[in-house]
Structure 1
Amino acid sequence: MTLELGKYASEVLSAYGVSLALLVGLSGWSWRRYRRVKAEMERVERGRDG
């Protein structure tokens, strides 16, 4: 099976590329935020216990 995009190939492929870049960027941002919040919660928990 081949992918035939016709005369709109560049538009379709660029839309796929932009979508993929946004998904990767949002995933990375979410992961960094998760780690930051988790570390902050652990710091607060240690402070409360000690």
Structure 2
Amino acid sequence: MREAMDAWTFVIASYAVGVGATLAMIAWSLISMKRAEARRDKARGQR
């Protein structure tokens, strides 16, 4: 039995959270961009 903490568990978890948050922010940005483009096109009377 080891008494020392295994830091790799926390390193892997932090990378997973970081990558997940980055992907979520990219998806949110793309959705927001598409909505803004649709509002712009509607205001210009194109659609």
TM-score (norm 1): 0.78
Counterpart in the other structure of 1:15? 14
Q: How many residues align?
A: 41
1:30-41 → structure 2 map (5 Å cutoff) = 30-41=29-40
Higher share of residues assigned helix: 1
Gapped runs of 5+ residues in structure 2?
Answer: 1-5
Identity of aligned residues (%): 17
Gapped runs of 5+ residues in structure 1?
Answer: 1-6
Root-mean-square deviation over aligned CA pairs: 1.2
TM-score (norm 2): 0.83
Runs of 4+ in 1 over 6 A off after TM superposition: none
